[in-house]
Amino acid sequence: MRLLICTFVLVLTQWVSAQAGPTTAPTTRPTTPVPADVTAHRDIVYVAGGGARQSLDLFIPNGVTKPPLVVFIHGGGWRGGSKERLPAMFLTQHGFAVASINYRLVPNALFPAQISDCRAAIRFLRKNAEKYGFDADRIGGWGTSAGGHLVALLGTGAENKELDGDNKETEGSCALQAVVDFFGPTQFPMRPNDATIRLFGGTATEKKELMKLASPITHVHAKVPPFLIMHGDADKTVPIEQSQLLADALKAAGNNVTFVTVPGGGHGFGTAVYQEKVRTFFQTHLGNKAK
């Protein structure tokens, strides 16, 4: 009887463990296929002592001498998402190197940790351009949603040291030469919602100055790199007015900005449909020799 009971307990324990899944997360790899003519460098940590959330993947097209680089910044409400999904991979087939970065997420890290990481990643990439074989003077950025916010903030606020946050590695430039912003928030408080409260650790009243610092519109000046901004007119998460405000501010300051309204587009309208616009924009402003 004792043997029977012990056997039952062992089987039950194994079954429960199986339902719970593995005790450690499996190693992830990009879900976006890597073309055969592209060399992949994965899980590069871009800050000393950083972990998975401060790492990036880098993809270099074979046979292209010193290609320009496009850095993709994922969305996810500043609390989710990862570098593994890469809509920008198609650009490797047009002579671009492409990087996809992770950054710290809430609730473990509040703003400005997210933009601090993005700035550190750009500096790391520029510093290591010769090592990996791309052009340090031609770096563009593309982001969607929360990533759109971060890439817009890189574009307008590169010179503002307050955005470095706790980043100790601040040597070199984190400036971009071209920016593509897909439906990112541009001015806080956008409206009362849980996502912004989580990002800043408080309400608009409590975090007024921090929200101002986080707003790309705050940092607009006369020498902002060219912007392509795209936004769906049916977006119920980030109102299209957010992008219109940034586009108007950039134009008023004398900058090069293209604003595209996506008819019927919600919060996420299928980036593949607009690949041609993105490719043309980066080719125009980063000046690569397309394949």
The amino acid at 61? P
Q: How many CB atoms lie within 10 A of CB 171?
A: 7
As a whole number, mean pLDDT of residues 21-50 equals 76
- Mean predicted lDDT score pLDDT of the chain: 88
DSSP state of 180: E
As a whole number, mean pLDDT of residues 260-266 equals 94
Compute the distance between CA of residue 218 and CA of residue 53 in angstroms, rounded to an integer. Answer: 27
User: Do the Cβ atoms of 157 and 174 come closer than 8 Å?
Assistant: no
Res 49 pLDDT > 50: yes
Angle, vertex CA 218, rays to CA 120 and CA 259, nearest 5: 90
Q: Where are the alpha helices (DSSP H) in the chain?
A: 2-20, 113-127, 129-132, 146-157, 194-200, 208-214, 240-252, 275-286
Comparing 1-10, 111-120, 174-183, 245-254, the range with the smallest average pLDDT is: 1-10
Q: How many CB atoms lie within 10 A of CB 2?
A: 6
Torsional sign, CA 211, 144, 44, 134: negative
Compute the distance between CA of residue 205 and CA of residue 190 in angstroms, rounded to an integer. Answer: 13
State percent of the chain over pLDDT 90: 79
Per the DSSP assignment, residues forming a β-bridge with 69 are 97, 139
pLDDT score at 289: 57
And the tokens for 83?
Answer: 């570098």
Provide the whole-model pTM. Answer: 0.89
As a whole number, mean pLDDT of residues 13-30 equals 35
